Amino acid sequence: MERLVRIFTGESDLLHNVPVYEQIVIAAKKAGLAGATVTRGIMGYGSSSRIHTAKILRLSEDLPVVIEIADTEDKINAFLPVVDSIFEESGCGGLVTTEEVNIIKYLPKVKK
């Protein structure tokens, strides 16, 4: 069975002066996960209920960021403690969700 982990955090959340989202993607690569995608949101809010937006009059430097990683259930479950450790060490807020997905096709790039 395949799983998708979706990790919500803030663009300005840092761990050792490196963005938390970057730390998570690097850790996912080291863990051998199939791939990771980071998406920057244009508007959102979290547990603080403070709205972050990219609107020109309210330009925010802390926009929402979502990291998505799909792989086998075993690999995702083994990676979740790493994500938890990054959040704990950084002291930033966040949300982590998982769901079952059906990976239809996953192909590596063909080298020419």
Q: Is the pLDDT of residue 59 over 90?
A: no
Name the residue among 33, 52, 35 with its Cα closest to residue 93.
Answer: 52
Q: Which helix (H) or strand (E) holds 83?
A: helix 73-90
State the pLDDT at residue 20. 97
Which residues 6+ apart lie within 8 Å of 70 measured at CB? 2, 3, 4, 5, 34, 35, 101, 103
Q: Express each pLDDT in 17-38 by its tens digit.
A: 999 999 999 999 999 999 999 9
3-class DSSP assignment, residue 88:
helix
What is the domain class of 2-98 according to CATH?
alpha beta
Domain locations in the chain as residue ranges: 2-98
Structure tokens given for 14 = 């840092």
Which residues 6+ apart lie within 8 Å of 86 measured at CB? 15, 20, 23, 24, 27
State the pLDDT at residue 62. 75
